[in-house]
Amino acid sequence: MNEPVLVVKDLKTYFDIAEGTVKAVNGVSFVLHKNEALGVVGETGSGKSVTMKSIMGMIKKPGYIVDGSQILFNTNEFSHDGSMEQVNLAKLSQKAFTRIRGKHIGMVFQDPMASLNPMYTVADQMIETIVYHQDVTPEEARKIAIELLKKVGLPNPEQRIDDYPFQFSGGQRQRIIIAIGLSCNPEVLVADEPTTALDVTIQAQILELMKDLQKEYQTGMIYITHDLSVVAEIADKVMVMYGGNQMELADVNTIFDRPMHPYTHALLSCIPRHDAKNEELNPIPGQPPIMLNPPALCPFLPRCPRATERCKKEWPELTEIEENHFIRCFNPVITKKTEDDK
């Protein structure tokens, strides 16, 4: 495996509000390599977006990254001799972050209209980004922008680049956002539910496009979704989040074939499988956790069918149960490896 581009260690992001502390992200750790796609999956409110906003320096007051959290990014942006170094993004000033965001870490969000400025043409917005981060003239930037728009499948980009965002369909706008996200050839691309606002056939096209471009550019990608079928499609490895914590992290086949966390099991049994005899969905009994002043116990405890007395007393640390398979649980579901898995 190649060098890691991003190493996140025990990331905690809290919000101090009048009622107490919302522990939105409460100990997340993972490594992202070049050319690797990490799928982050979890129910609404599980901390997926706050994790990504923390990585991109977008946490605003009353939110803050707790001391001790590490978001180590491999970059030569700040070194004097062009050598690579690990920079802790959790400690980076907002000013310094403008040299990382958009250039080394690209972003694609759920709502393309919110990411594009309605007052400016696509050309204005793309050229501005490219000129800001790269040593090129506006004329060169325009050429780069047109090439990128071609790449993301926008028809007739030489003319359409001078249109305003409202003149495009939702799917086309998302293609433009992907082109902007990739415009500086970032080492990491963060995508937060980029297909949710689109209709189903367009969703599939955009997903395919992102997968192809990620492999072509060899970008490290973090792809957030609540949809397990999307994860199966796009991810090399998967992080399952619940209640601000990562419950499990493993390569995509392991997550689907031999999940060990009871929550991952519950999540997987909620999706209909074409090979399943029982066509019914199995909702997970109970309520999602409250993140305000949570107890130092597994957040899945009240809903967990495997909970024991120990779970009511101790905090489960993240453990590497087998190589590259991490789990936060005292009572994992152990199934034997089949011959195919070995």
Ligand X SMILES: Nc1ncnc2c1ncn2[C@@H]1O[C@H](COP(=O)(O)OP(=O)(O)OP(=O)(O)O)[C@@H](O)[C@H]1O
Instruction: List interacting residues with ligand X (CB under 6 A).
Output: 15, 17, 22, 24, 42, 44-50, 63, 226, 291
Q: Give alpha helix (H) positions in the chain.
A: 48-55, 94-97, 112-115, 122-133, 138-151, 157-160, 170-182, 200-217, 228-234, 252-257, 262-268
Residue 230 exposed, middle or buried by CB count within 10 Å (0-12, 13-18, 19+): buried
| Residue (63 or 186) nearer to ligand X, CB | 63
Closest CA to 206 of 184, 187, 222, 230: 230
| Residue (111 or 128) nearer to ligand X, CB | 111
Residue 312 exposed, middle or buried by CB count within 10 Å (0-12, 13-18, 19+): exposed
| Residue (87 or 247) nearer to ligand X, CB | 247
Q: Minimum CB separation from ligand X for residue 324, in Å?
A: 24
Are β-strands 37-42 and 63-65 bridged in parallel, bridged antiparallel, or unpaired?
A: unpaired
- Fill in the DSSP letter of residue 101: B
Q: Minimum CB separation from ligand X for residue 62, in Å?
A: 6
CA distance readout (Å), 320 to 92, 307, 323:
29, 20, 7
| Residue (49 or 75) nearer to ligand X, CB | 49
Question: By the 8 A CB rule, do 261 and 329 touch?
Answer: yes
| Residue (49 or 69) nearer to ligand X, CB | 49
| Residue (58 or 321) nearer to ligand X, CB | 58
| Residue (46 or 125) nearer to ligand X, CB | 46
Beta carbons within 10 angstroms of residue 300's beta carbon:
26
Q: Minimum CB separation from ligand X for residue 39, in Å?
A: 13
Q: Minimum CB separation from ligand X for residue 279, in Å?
A: 26
Q: Minimum CB separation from ligand X for residue 223, in Å?
A: 13
Closest CA to 51 of 8, 91, 105, 17: 8
Q: Minimum CB separation from ligand X for residue 42, in Å?
A: 5
DSSP string of 225-259, one letter each residue = ES-HHHHHHH-SEEEEEETTEEEEEEEHHHHHHS-
Q: Helix crossing, 122-133 with 138-151: angle to 10°? A: 110
Q: Which residues pair with 31 in a beta bridge?
A: 7
| Residue (23 or 258) nearer to ligand X, CB | 23
Q: Minimum CB separation from ligand X for residue 197, in Å?
A: 13
Q: Minimum CB separation from ligand X for residue 226, in Å?
A: 5
Question: By the 8 A CB rule, do 163 and 174 touch?
Answer: no
Beta carbons within 10 angstroms of residue 123's beta carbon:
19
